[in-house]
Structure formats: structure tokens, C-alpha cells
A and B are shown apart, each in its own frame.
Chain A
Amino acid sequence: MIKKISLDNYGKFRNERFDFGAFTMVYGPNEAGKTTLFDALFEAACAAAPKRGQVWARLASRYGEDRKARASGAVPAFGDAVEFLELFAIRAGQISVDAEKGGSWAEAAKNSLYRHGYNPAEIAGKLEKRASVSNATRHQKNLNRLNSDLAETREKAALLRSQETAIAAAKTGLAASEADIAALENKKSVLAAELAAAGGRLDDYKKIRALHQGLRDRDLVAGAIQAEKKLAEVSGCNAEALKEYDLLADKIAAAERGVAEISGTINATLDTIGKLDGEKASLLESQRVARRIADAAQRLLPELEKITRPGQAAGPEPRPPAGLRYGIWGFGAAGAALGLYMAKNGPLGYVLAAFFAAAAVALDRYLFRAADLPAGLAAGPASLAAVYDQWVNLGFARVDIERDTPAGVMEAALNLKAMARSWDIAVENNRKDGLAARAALKELNDKSITLAEDKDACAAAARKWLAGAGCPDRDGYLSRANLRQSLAGETARNSARIKELLELEKCSGPASLITLLDSRVKELEGAGVRVRPDYERDMATQENRVIALSAERAELEEELGRRKIERENLSVTFNKDLARVPETLNALCRREYDLEQEIAADALARSGAELAAGVYREIEADSSRKFEGLAREVGILLARVLPLSDLHIGSLSLESVALKDAGGAMRALDDLSSGTRDCFMLAARLTLAAAARGAEPGLMLLDDPFPALDAPRRAAALTMLRHFQRETGWQLIIFTKDKTLLAEVEGDPQVTICQLV
């Protein structure tokens, strides 16, 4: 209880002191300082309040900063200046609770009493809004956006995952491609090895070829040098010059031929001579026989003539003239001579000579042989036998003369006689022929000797010619001529290659070239290269193999290149499309996770808000229940001062309070008289204040509280206040300018009166 308050420089009070009791009435006319004292008491009560609102500023502006109000006694402390003014101070005309925040007084009272200046319902509302799933709320909009982001993110991630799956599915193709490439690479390396080996072998062959070439070139150059020497040796021999020799040789041959021909004729002539000599003996024999026969026939003739015709003697047959015979012989000799002459030019001459000789002999024989035969013997038949006998006696055969008739026999005998003659001719002819033949032979021998001499002369000339050429014979010369020609040809043929070699090897001449080639050959041989007879064939085979392998490799490389491009394309497709997939997917997963976390956090916040809202709603319900309990207390308090019946107080709000008026009608508080309403409000204010303060000592300042009350109601109100003071022990300080009110308490020892002047 505030027992005393000292005011220094407080409004109109410079240094004043006022005393108070439990129930104090401060009386003073207008401008006496009642409000100033009211404010000073208020300031003293709320001096320690943490919440002062605008009230303190108002005090400062009204009374200045240097004001001082010191209260003594057990000053009750209030924590909230505004609340104090609302609950513990009643101003004139403001008996109803002044709801500064615009609410109804009851609501403000409730806030002050049970919500401590807050509105749990309002807070619950805010929290419920936070927990609301309505699309109108900011949170829900944000949540919707998050959910939409999440769905989008999940969709993107699913798409990327399917792409990833596609990679795995495409693995087979790529793996096959890789395997193909690996196989091809392997094949290529095998092929390369084969090719290298083949190339190596080919190189070996090339070395062999180089060796061969070197040897060949070396031999060529050596041969050329040799040929040059030989050529110098045989340079005089040539085929043209040989014609000279050949002419001599021809002459020799012609002479030899002539000699041969003549020799043939000589032989023929010798044959003829031999034949004639042979015939001569036979002819001589035949002549002798024929002469014997003819002699014998001669002996018969007289006999025969006797037999046939006595007197008639058998004469000899007519004969061709002998001059013809000499002509034939001359002709034959002439022909043979001609033939021999011709034989100088060919063998035909010998034939001709032989022919003419033979023809003369044959013709002579033909024409003249019969005439040579001895004439036959004729004998008459009578004496024929004698003739025959005589004939036989002569030593001849009967048959030779035996005929049918004596004439015949006579003829036969004559013939036989004539035959001897023909043999004579034949012998003569033979002798002549022999002479002619011997003459021809001599001639022929002479000719042969001439020819032999010619031949010897020519042969000597030929030998001399050959000796001049330095050759043993023609073949020697010819071979040398041929050698020269072939050497010349060879030199001509080789000169191009040698020239080429000289230029190639930059050698001044064949000698240095051969040295170079020789050293090269030795070098190759030193490196183990050996001449191989069949190297060209093998090398060609090897070359073909290298070419085939190269072609195969090229083909393989082409194939490999194609495969690699194929694989590269495949990889590029993969890489281009999918290289960043894992990172993107990871980022999306993180985003998804973050969104889920955010959504979960929102859900948690929403759920928490819901729970908190429930708690606040509970607090709100509790306070409402308590507030309703107060209504009953107001009724009890009011019933003490007002003779009202059927007081009905539903809750502490003007709308729900109804009283029965004097006329017995139930009327709402607003419709009752202002006095009745003020009494109700006073009771309500006292109840609320008591409830608000609880067990703590209270203070209530009432500034001219009953302006609208009539005297009885004012007295009743005063009674209610005094009852309240007694029951609660609160300090009540009433400020009034109403003397009648002062009069009502004057003399009451329990009322402290403070008069302001």
C-alpha cells in the first residue's frame, strides 16, 4: 500500500507530500491537481515496469523530465504500464475497459488477464496458416514450387538414367567393335612381323642380287678390258677380206674338180682300153677259131658246090663299103675328144667321151660283124652226109652245118667261111679302137697335169694369203674374223652399261671401276652374302610375297581405319551425349535430395506449427473458460449493490450480458440506463482487476468514476468499492470533485481523505 507520496517539480506540485490509506478519497475542484496526483501514483506503481509503451512519453511531455515522485510504504509493483491503465485505473467517463488495441474491452481484458497481452487465438491462427495446405499461402506456394521442381528433377534424372541404361545396352556393339579392332590389330602386328621378316629376306636377296650384279658388272668390265685387248689382236681379220682367199679356194676347187672329172674320164678310158684289150684276146681267139672254121668250110665248099650246082660257085655276100666303117670310127674318136675337152669344165665331158667311144664300137659291131663271118658251106643232099662227116672229121660239130637242104648247108658253110672275115674286121676294129683310146688317155693325162699345176699354184697363193693373215687356215681366219665381229658387237653392247656404271660410280675409267666393284663384292661377301644360282627366282617369289603382304596390310589397315572410325563415331556419340551424364545425374540427385530435404523441413515446420497452434488453441480455450468464470463473480458483486433480479451474465462481453429492468423486461446491457451499465462495468472492472492481480497486493485508481450515477446508485457503488476493499485488502484511491461524495465518507475512520486546494 502506498502510504505517502512526495512530489517534487511534478506538474503544479513543487514540493508536496500526500498521505494515503487503504481507502482514500482525494477531493479537489477542477485544476486542483487531481490528475497530476493520479499520474504520479501511476508512475510510482509502474516505476519498475519493463513495458511502459507510450505512456511514459506522455508523462514526460506533460510534466517534464525533471519531475520526481517518491512513494513510500509497500508500493505494489506493476509490470505493464498499459495494462495498469487498462485494468487498474478507471478514468472519469471511461469506466469501460479502454481497448487500446481496438478490440472490445472484454477481449482486451481477456488478453490482459489470461493471454498477457497476446492473443493465443491470433498466434494459433498464424501457426495454422503456416500449417495450412491452402495454395493461397506463401509457404504452400513455395512448397508447390519445390514439389514441381522435385518432379521435374526426378523426370530429368529418370531420362538420364534411361540414357545410362542405353549405354549399358549398347555395350555389346561397342565391345564387339573393340574386339574386332583388337583382333585386327593383332592380325596387323602378325602381318607386320611377317612383312618385316619377308622384307628382311628380300633385303638378303637384294644383297645377293647386288652381289650378283657386282660380280656381273665386275666381269663385264673385266671382259670389256679383255675384249678390247683381243680386239686389238684380231682387228685385221674380217669377212670381206676373206673373199680374196675364197676366190683362190674356188680356183683350187675348180681345178680339183677338173682333175677329178678328167680322172673319171681317164678311168673310163682306161676301162675302155682294158675292155678293148680284153676283147682283143677274145677276138683274136674267135678270129683263130673262125679262121679254122672258115678253112674247114673252105674245104667243104668245093664239095658242096658240086652237090648244088656244078659250076656255080657260091660267091661272097655283098658288104658295106669299108670307108663307112672308118667314118664311124672317126666319128667316135672325134666325139670322145670333144667329150674330154668338155671334161675340163665338168664331168659331163667324160660321159660324152665315153658315150661317143661306146657308140662307135656298137655301131661298128652292128654294121660290120656279119660280114666278117665266114661263108657257109653248101652241100647237096647226096653228099651232105659226106660233107657232114668231113665236117665232123675236121673236128667240128655236125649241127653247125646240118641243114635240110644242100643249099642250106652250102649257105651255112659260106656263112662259116664268111664269119672268119667278120672276125678279122672285128679284130681290126679292136686294134683301132685301142689306139684311139690310148691317144685320148694321153690327152686326158696331159690335161690333168695342167689342172693339177693350176691348183698347186692357187693353193700356194692361198697359203701365202693365210700366212699373211697369220692364220693356219681359213677356219682360223674366219673364227678370228667372227671373234672380232663378236668382240666388236660385245664391246658395243657393253659400252653403254660401262658408261652408265662409270657415271654412276663416278669413276674415271674401267680400271678404277673394277677396283670399286671388286671391293663392293668383297664387302658383300664379307657380310656373309653368297652367290646363289636360283636367287632371282627366289627373290621374285619373295618380292611377290612382300607385295602380297603389303597389299594385305594395306587392306587390313583400311579395314582397321574403317573400324576405328566406326568405333570412334560410336564413342563420340557416347561421349558427346553421355560424357557429362554421371555429373549431371549426380547434380540432379543432389538437387532431388536437397529439394526433398527442403520439403521435409517444410513438412516438419508445418507439422510443428500445427502442434504449436494446437497448444495455443488450448491456451485460448483455457483463458476463455477462466474468463467465463469471472462473469459469475461479477454477478455476485453486482447483486450486492443493485436490487436487480434475474441477472443473466453469459460471459464478460456487453453483447452477452442481459438484465431485467424495472419494468421486468430483459434488456441487453447496451439498452439499459447508463447508471446501471456503469455499475455493471464497475463490478466487472473490479473483478477483472482482482483476477489480473491474483494474490499480489493491488492498487486501483478511480478518477471521478461515477459522473452518471444518481445518488442512490452512487452510494451503492461506493458500498461495492468498500466491500471490495475490505474483501481484497486492495488500496483504492478515488479522485472526485463531487462534494456530496466526499460528504458520504466524511467521518468514516476507514476512509482517508485528501483534499486538494
Chain B
Amino acid sequence: MLRILHASDLHLTSGPDREYGLEVLRELVCLANSRQADFLLLCGDLFDSFKDLKENSLLNSVRQEVQLLRAGCRALYIPGNHEDIGRGPKDRLSSFDLGRLELMTDAAAACGGKTLETPEAEFICVPHSSDYSGYRKWQLPPKAPGRARLLLMHGTSSAVYRGPDQEEQQAGVIPDSLFAWLEADYAALGHVHSARETLIGGTLAVYCGSARVWRKWEDGPRKAVFFETEGGKIGARQDLFIKAAGEYRYFTLPVNPDSSILPTAMRELLEKCPAPYRDYIVVRFSGLVEDANALAGLKSVVEGVLRAKNPRRLELLSDQVEIFGGLADNALAKQFLEKLDSRRPAEDSPEMPRWVAARQQGLAALAGDLE
């Protein structure tokens, strides 16, 4: 039996998020140790860029963190598209001392990675490539019966995820038929930051999601996927949440025409961020307001309140606020908002988006510029 922890996209950086990333890595190592994991799979984008990798003190810290892995646990690492950023033609990952991190291939290598065979599982580790179409020519050993085949890849699989690329950098597209072709039992995938899984033929393709919050819209708790293999079968998965990663939290704050906000909405917002010091908070104001200056004032007030909670990152967006002069005194607008506010659903209610849309649409219709 093998115990495996699948994680991805830590985007460790030497920038402002340096400590945050290292804390996430530390918790990941702790999770692997607490579960007595035999393998920790790091499926690409461990570093945010090649430049970060070259940064000595960061690499030292990473080595130190990984050194804390229990003796029986191996950390298999494949490079992702981010390890290619800023990588010179002669730069090679293999020239760095990664400590207990086992680089399963070099980012400079051509398609087709390293294969690791153990009595119970075989790991096909594929480095990131912008083109995976040559997979039919990969030289792989025949699959041994009774042994689980695990595929480590970094890229976009439209069979699993078809939304917009959450990263700015495009990664290689993994063909749907690749999984069946390689006869993988479990595809440990990296690159897509929102966790999801799909059964493609006989392959369970799993994006465990980014282990940290790297960009906006990466909502939900960050996690790593833990599972066991027994006799070539993949056991039940268990999501291990990474507390150190915090969360991405997004709020819509409806603004009244006079640039005031509903006290309930603000209260709710504050209740949702009890300890936001690791969180990435984005507040989007929405509505029509009379006066841009008043809106700016509102923003600074809200920012002040939220900053006091010391979140990891805070962004206030007002792109959905329209300025419409005269609206504040408009009795009908007041009447409309009064009536609509009386129907405001809870912040996390599924009706909330509809309510926000009705507010926007109603005011826009009043202002005469209904879309």
C-alpha cells in the first residue's frame, strides 16, 4: 500500500509572498508527515518563475522545509510552465541542488519525462511542454499488472477544466485521449488552480488546485489530495485543506446612489472575514451613484475598516459602479431601492447575484441607459 499526497502550483516566490508560500509548503510537509505519506507529488509551478528558483535564499528555505519530510517520504517534482518563465536557453533545473526534492525531469528536456517504478506503483513524470501531441511516441514500459500507474503532468485538460486560463501564462493542452493511451490510473495534474476531477476512461484525472491563493478568483479553501493505492487500485480521495494558504474571498457591496452602503451588507462582510490575515479579499462595489467623490470616500472608509483586519491582500473594485448625477435626490430611485433592499437576500444566498443584477438593472432603467 502506498500513501500519496498530491499537491500543485505553490508558486513560491522571492517577492512579497515569500513567507506566505513557505508557510504553505511547511503545512504541506506537515500534512504529508501526519498522514505517513510515501510520496508527495508536486505537479509543476512549484516556483513562480525561474528567477525565483535562482534566488538562493528562497531555494535554501525550500530545501530546509522539504528536509523536514519524514524519512520514508519521497517528494517527486515536475516543472510547470512557470519554471519556464525567465529560463535562459542554457538554464537547467538539474543544475540546482534541490535537496530532497526529486526533479523528475529537466525543464530543458524534450517531451517525455522520467518513469519511476516501485513494486506497487509506477510514476510517469512528464515535464511541462507547450505541445503534448507527440505522446504516442513516448517510450514507456508496458504497464505491469497489479501496479497502479500514476501520471504527473502540468497543463490544461479541457476534459477536466474548460474555463478561462486562471494563469496569465498559457500551458500546454493535454489531449483527452492521452490518458487512455498511457493507461494511467490516476493523473495528478497541475496548472488549473481550482480543484476538480473527472473520470476519463479508466483514468481519474485530478486537478488538486493550487496549494495557495495565487490570483484573484481562486476561491474556496486550498487543498492537497490524499489517497492510497492498494493492489494497483486507487483508493478514496481525501481533501486535506491547507489552512496556511488562507482563502480568496469576494464580496459584492451594493452602493446606494448617495454612496452609502447598507449596514447589513457591511456587517455581513465583516462577519465573513473573522481572521483574514491570510486571506485575499476583493470587494466589488456595485450600483449607480450620484457622485464619484462620494464613492471614493466610501471606498476609503471600507478600505480602512478592512485593512484594520490585516488581510494578506485587499482589493477594492468599483468597475461595476456607474456614476449618474441626480440619482441621489431621485425619489423614485429611493423608492425603488427602498423596496428592493427590503428583499435583499443573504450574502451567500444563490439569489444574491439576481438581486444585485436587479438593483443594477432597475437603476439603469431609471437612469435611461438600460443595457
Binding site for B on A (CB under 8 A): 50-51, 79, 115-118, 120, 123, 126-127, 130, 161, 164-165, 167-168, 171, 174, 571, 574-575, 578-583, 585-586, 588-590, 592-594, 604-605, 607-612, 615-616, 618-619
Q: Could you list 18 A-B pairs, sorted by A, with CB under 8 Å?
A: A116-B332, A118-B330, A126-B365, A126-B370, A130-B370, A164-B177, A168-B181, A574-B136, A582-B173, A586-B173, A589-B162, A590-B158, A605-B361, A608-B356, A608-B357, A611-B357, A615-B340, A616-B362
- Residues of chain B within 8 A (CB-CB) of A590 are 158, 162-164
Assuming the contacts A116-B332, A118-B366, A612-B365, asked whether A164 and B175 have C-beta atoms less than 8 A apart, the reply is yes
User: Closest CB-CB distance, A688 to chain B, in whole Å?
Assistant: 16
Assuming the contacts A168-B201, A612-B340, A616-B362, asked whether A582 and B356 have C-beta atoms less than 8 A apart, the reply is no
- Residues of chain B within 8 A (CB-CB) of A589 are 158, 162
Beyond known contacts A116-B332, A580-B133, A608-B354: 10 more, CB 8 A cutoff? A118-B330, A118-B332, A168-B177, A171-B180, A605-B361, A608-B360, A609-B361, A609-B362, A611-B340, A611-B343
- Residues of chain A within 8 A (CB-CB) of B235 are none
Q: Is the CB of B358 within 8 A of A609?
A: yes
Q: Does B227 belong to the interface (CB within 8 Å)?
A: no
Assuming the contacts A168-B177, A612-B358, asked whether A50 and B326 have C-beta atoms less than 8 A apart, the reply is yes
Size of the B side of the interface (Cβ < 8 Å), in residues, is 41
Q: Is the CB of A607 within 8 A of B357?
A: yes
Chain A interface helix/strand/loop/mixed? helix
Q: Is the CB of A619 within 8 A of B339?
A: yes
Pick the contact of B357: A116, A578, A605 (CB < 8 A): A605
- Residues of chain B within 8 A (CB-CB) of A574 are 136
Q: Is the CB of B329 within 8 A of A50?
A: yes
Q: Does B169 belong to the interface (CB within 8 Å)?
A: no
User: Closest CB-CB distance, B169 to chain A, in whole Å?
Assistant: 15
CA distance in complex: A60, B132 (Å): 77
Q: Does B34 belong to the interface (CB within 8 Å)?
A: no
Among B336-364, those with CB < 8 Å from A are: 336, 339-340, 343, 353-362
CA distance in complex: A592, B162 (Å): 8
Q: Does B174 belong to the interface (CB within 8 Å)?
A: yes
Q: Is the CB of A167 within 8 A of B354?
A: no
Binary A-proximity of B149-186 (CB < 8 A = 1, otherwise 0): 00000001010001110000000011111001100000
User: Closest CB-CB distance, B257 to chain A, in whole Å?
Assistant: 13
Q: Which residue of A lies closest to B334 (CB)?
A: A116
- Residues of chain B within 8 A (CB-CB) of A583 are 173
Q: Which residue of B lies closest to A166 (CB)?
A: B177
User: Closest CB-CB distance, A186 to chain B, in whole Å?
Assistant: 13
Q: Is the CB of A586 within 8 A of B359?
A: no
- Residues of chain B within 8 A (CB-CB) of A586 are 156, 158, 162, 173
Q: Does B371 belong to the interface (CB within 8 Å)?
A: yes
Assuming the contacts A165-B177, A167-B181, asked whether A604 and B336 have C-beta atoms less than 8 A apart, the reply is no
Q: Does B335 belong to the interface (CB within 8 Å)?
A: yes
Q: Is the CB of B370 within 8 A of A127?
A: yes
User: Closest CB-CB distance, B240 to chain A, in whole Å?
Assistant: 29
Pick the contact of A123: B343, B356, B366 (CB < 8 A): B366
- Residues of chain B within 8 A (CB-CB) of A582 are 132-133, 158, 173-176
Q: Is the CB of B329 within 8 A of A615?
A: no
Q: Does B331 belong to the interface (CB within 8 Å)?
A: yes
Q: Is the CB of B158 within 8 A of A611?
A: no
Q: Is the CB of B132 within 8 A of A593?
A: no
Assuming the contacts A582-B174, A615-B339, asked whether A608 and B358 have C-beta atoms less than 8 A apart, the reply is yes
CA distance in complex: A168, B137 (Å): 13
User: Closest CB-CB distance, B143 to chain A, in whole Å?
Assistant: 12
Binary A-proximity of B173-212 (CB < 8 A = 1, otherwise 0): 1111100110000000000000000000100000000000
Q: Is the CB of B359 within 8 A of A608?
A: yes
User: Closest CB-CB distance, B346 to chain A, in whole Å?
Assistant: 16
CA distance in complex: A708, B362 (Å): 46
CA distance in complex: A79, B356 (Å): 30
CA distance in complex: A604, B158 (Å): 26
Q: Is the CB of B371 within 8 A of A605?
A: yes
- Residues of chain A within 8 A (CB-CB) of B354 are 604, 607-608, 611
Q: Is the CB of B358 within 8 A of A611?
A: yes
CA distance in complex: A164, B132 (Å): 14
- Residues of chain A within 8 A (CB-CB) of B181 are 167-168, 171
- Residues of chain A within 8 A (CB-CB) of B173 are 582-583, 585-586
- Residues of chain A within 8 A (CB-CB) of B335 are 116, 619
Among B96-128, those with CB < 8 Å from A are: none
- Residues of chain A within 8 A (CB-CB) of B329 are 50, 79
Assuming the contacts A118-B366, A168-B201, asked whether A608 and B361 have C-beta atoms less than 8 A apart, the reply is yes
- Residues of chain B within 8 A (CB-CB) of A593 are 162-164
CA distance in complex: A118, B326 (Å): 13
Pick the contact of A611: B175, B201, B355 (CB < 8 A): B355
- Residues of chain B within 8 A (CB-CB) of A612 are 336, 340, 358-359, 361-362, 365
Among B297-346, those with CB < 8 Å from A are: 326, 329-332, 335-336, 339-340, 343
- Residues of chain B within 8 A (CB-CB) of A167 are 136, 175, 177, 181
- Residues of chain A within 8 A (CB-CB) of B132 are 582
CA distance in complex: A115, B333 (Å): 9
Pick the contact of B175: A118, A581, A604 (CB < 8 A): A581
CA distance in complex: A174, B332 (Å): 72
Q: Is the CB of B162 within 8 A of A174?
A: no
7 smallest CB-CB distances across A and B, nearest first, come from: A608-B357, A612-B362, A589-B162, A611-B358, A116-B331, A589-B158, A582-B175
CA distance in complex: A583, B181 (Å): 18
Assuming the contacts A50-B326, A165-B177, asked whether A615 and B336 have C-beta atoms less than 8 A apart, the reply is yes
